[in-house]
Structure formats: C-alpha cells, structure tokens
C-alpha cells in the first residue's frame, strides 16, 4: 500500500480527533527505559512510525473488520511461543519448520499480509530500523483501540528472532480443549498468572471461532453423547443450527461474542455469566472459584476490564525479549535477513 505524505497528514488529523474518545491509563514515564525497551525508542530514528502503523491497521479494518481480532491473536501467538520475537511471521525454511503451520495456527492465523504491508511502508520511511515484532505489537494495540477497546503504552526496541519452531507452538499455546488448570499452568510458565488468564481471555470479545473448536460441546460433551449441560438452551439450539453435527461444518465460523461482534467491550464476561460462552475454555472460567469472581467483576465493570486488559497486554509484550547478536531487524517479516 502506497503511503503518501498527504494521506499521512489527513489521517493524522482524523486519528487525533477520533482517538480522543479512547480512555487512556495514567501516562508512564516515557523517558525511563524498561530493560532493553523504551517508549520513545524510535522517536528520532522513525518519528512517523506510530502514524504509519495506525494507517495500515485502519485500512485493513476498513476492508475486513475481522482483522482486528486476527492481529491481536497474532501478537499473542507470537509472544506466547518462546517470547516476543516475530517468530510467528516466519515462513518455513530448509533449516526449520516454523509456526505458521502449527496446529493452533494452520488455516486459522491471519494478518500476515497486513503486517507485511505495514513493514513495507515503514521500510520506505525508515529502512532497516524497525523490527517486525515491534510493528506487530503496535498493530495489535491499534486494532484493539480502533475496535473501541483500551489504549496501552507499547514499549519498543525488540529485535526479530532468527528462527521459529512448529514444535514450540504446538506445545506452548493454550488450546480451547484443555482444562483450565493446564491453561493456567502454561500462563504461569511464561511469568503470567491466573488473573492474566481471565483478562487476556477477554480478547474473545471480538473475533470468530471455527465450529470444530467447540462442536463437541453441542453433541458429545466429554464423551457423553449429549450436549454440555451448562450451555443455555436457546444458545445451544442456535449453535446446533449454525454448526450441524457433520464434518463439512467444521470450518464454518461463529462469532466468539454474538452480542457485540466487532466491539471490544466486556460482553464476553456477561456471556459467560449467562452460560453463553462459546469455547469450553471460556465457560470454564465461571466454574472455578479462582476465576469466577473476576469474571463477575469484569462483567459488571467495563472500565475495570479495560484497565486490567491494558496492564496484561503490557506484561505480555515483555515476554522473552531478544537482544544483541541473537536478533536482527528483518527487512521482510517472513524471512530472516
């Protein structure tokens, strides 16, 4: 996508006037580094970075509203597998099998073309300066903000990794079929906690899931041959119509939050309280005393959810950073230089 200076100016005014409606947390100390990262890392070397990323995300969402959830998920899937180093963006090579074809990502992860397009625009203005992983972190934030969600300050200065691992993605990413204790253990292994499990699961307020990810709840819950008894009966009936018990329905898409499909809000938690959570792993949050109280709090207080989601995203963005000779600034996000 060509990024003309005139378009940049127009979009700058447009975004400034619209972004004032977004709630922002207390401003951090932007001059204070956080390890190898800082908020103003590219202020001198690529001063238009933020606007270029916003423009790219805005254009992508204008074309496809689903892309907001896809970019957020791509950032999560990157950081959760061996840290935030852009490995999820790498194509397979003769030296490694990457993460794009791992089970949690195959025919599911999207947004690679959006990140590639933004990277190409950034390269025109700031060649060999900004890492792909930093672009992805910024894009995820902008996608949430443009969907009505909270703003959070993004620390910058990450380096792109030199490899990727299909095996790591298969082993480390949480699955909607796993028990809550297993999912929590995976979060804890990353330095996150049970609160982060509940908060980051709230990302399911936007996006879609394929029928196969929840179909056993509709027809054969835990091998019983019957539906999940916790599902609201009307919700169950609708889902059985959308996802009939035949293989050809496996890849059909259903909104994770059918109430406010494209709006980043706290409806996800209200759905769980009302027994209309889509995924087994979502509905499990209300059945465990360690997480149920938080679900109820977030269902009642959208501002609390927004604040805590922003804080958890900052934590996520600091996982497994690469520095020095272990990383690089990729010229193209899909291949190592």
| Domain total in the chain | 1
Mean pLDDT of all residues in 98-116? 95
Say how far apart CA 124 and CA 121 lie, in whole Å: 5
Q: Known binding site for heme b: residues?
A: 204
Question: In this structure, is residue 240 part of a structural domain?
Answer: no
**Scanning the structure block, which residue is given the tokens 């950073």?**
321
Q: Name which of 79-93, 148-162, 188-202, 317-331 the model is least confident about.
A: 317-331
Give the percent of the chain with pLDDT over 70: 90
| Angle value at C-alpha 232, between 228 and 235, nearest 5 degrees | 100
* Residue 310 pLDDT > 80: yes
Q: Known binding site for substrate: residues?
A: 174
Tens of pLDDT, residues 119-131: 999 999 999 999 9
Tens of pLDDT, residues 30-69: 455 566 789 999 999 999 999 999 999 999 999 999 999 9
Q: Which two tokens stand for residue 12?
A: 């700058």
Question: In this structure, is residue 235 part of a structural domain?
Answer: no
Please report which residue ranges of 264-317 form alpha helices under DSSP H: 267-273, 280-283, 289-300, 302-316
Which of 77, 119, 158, 330 is catalytic? The answer is 77
Say how far apart CA 284 and CA 180 lie, in whole Å: 7
Tens of pLDDT, residues 258-285: 999 999 999 999 999 999 999 999 999 9
pTM for the whole structure: 0.90
* Residue 75 falls in the annotated catalytic set: no
Say how far apart CA 60 and CA 66 lie, in whole Å: 9
Contact 278, 204 (CB under 8 A): yes
Q: Which two tokens stand for residue 25?
A: 């947390």
Residues spanned by the domain of 141: 48-207+256-317
Q: Which two tokens stand for residue 151?
A: 């703003």
Question: In this structure, is residue 56 part of a structural domain?
Answer: yes
Question: In this structure, is residue 329 part of a structural domain?
Answer: no
Tens of pLDDT, residues 178-222: 999 999 999 999 999 999 999 999 999 999 999 999 999 999 998
Q: Known binding site for Ca(2+): residues?
A: 78, 81, 83, 87, 99, 205, 257, 260, 265
Question: In this structure, is residue 38 part of a structural domain?
Answer: no
Predicted local distance difference test score (pLDDT) of residue 110: 96
* Residue 17 pLDDT > 50: no
* Residue 145 pLDDT > 70: yes
Contact 275, 231 (CB under 8 A): yes
Element housing 255 (H / E): strand 253-255
Question: In this structure, is residue 265 part of a structural domain?
Answer: yes
In 3D, which of 54, 28, 256 has the Cα closest to residue 138?
54
Question: In this structure, is residue 27 part of a structural domain?
Answer: no
Tens of pLDDT, residues 160-183: 999 999 999 999 999 999 999 999
- Looking at residue 279, which CATH number applies to its domain? 1.10.520.10
Predicted confidence band at 323 (pLDDT cuts at 50, 70, 90)? Answer: confident
* Residue 27 pLDDT > 60: no
Question: In this structure, is residue 12 part of a structural domain?
Answer: no
Give the mean pLDDT of the chain: 91
User: Percent helix, strand, coil in the chain (nearest 5)?
Assistant: 50, 5, 45
Q: Known binding site: residues?
A: 78, 81, 83, 87, 99, 174, 204-205, 257, 260, 265
Say how far apart CA 128 and CA 105 lie, in whole Å: 28
* Residue 23 pLDDT > 80: no
Q: Name which of 102-111, 162-171, 196-205, 319-328 the model is least confident about.
A: 319-328
């Amino acid at each position: 996508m060509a990024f003309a200076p005139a378009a940049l100016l127009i979009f700058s005014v447009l975004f400034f006037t619209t972004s004032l409606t977004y709630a922002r947390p207390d401003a951090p100390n932007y001059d204070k580094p956080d390890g190898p990262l800082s908020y103003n890392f590219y202020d001198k070397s690529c001063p238009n970075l933020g606007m270029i990323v916003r423009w790219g995300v805005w254009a992508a969402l204008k074309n496809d509203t689903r892309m907001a959830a896809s970019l957020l998920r791509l950032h999560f899937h990157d950081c959760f597998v061996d840290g935030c180093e852009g490995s999820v963006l790498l194509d397979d090579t003769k030296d490694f099998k990457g993460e794009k074809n791992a089970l949690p990502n195959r025919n599911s992860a999207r947004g690679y073309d959006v990140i590639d397009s933004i990277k190409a625009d950034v390269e025109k203005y700031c060649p060999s300066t900004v890492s792909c992983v930093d672009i992805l972190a910024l894009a995820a934030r902008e996608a949430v903000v443009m969907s009505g969600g909270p703003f959070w300050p993004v620390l910058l200065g990450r380096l792109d990794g030199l490899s990727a691992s299909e095996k790591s993605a298969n082993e480390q990413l949480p699955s909607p079929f796993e028990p809550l204790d297993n999912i929590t253990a995976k979060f804890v292994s990353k330095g996150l906690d049970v609160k982060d499990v509940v908060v980051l699961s709230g990302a399911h307020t936007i996006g879609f899931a394929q029928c196969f990810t929840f179909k056993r709840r509709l027809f054969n819950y835990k091998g019983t041959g019957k539906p999940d008894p916790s599902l609201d009966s009307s919700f169950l009936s609708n889902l059985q119509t959308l996802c009939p018990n035949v293989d050809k329905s496996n890849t059909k898409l259903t909104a994770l939050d059918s109430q406010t499909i494209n709006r980043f809000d706290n409806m996800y938690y209200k759905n769980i309280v009302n027994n209309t959570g889509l995924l087994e792993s979502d509905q499990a949050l209300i059945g465990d005393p360690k997480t149920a109280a938080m679900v109820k709090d977030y269902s009642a207080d959208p501002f609390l959810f927004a604040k805590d989601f922003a804080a958890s995203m900052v934590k996520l963005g600091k996982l497994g950073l690469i520095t020095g000779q272990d990383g690089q600034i990729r010229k193209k996000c899909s291949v190592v230089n």
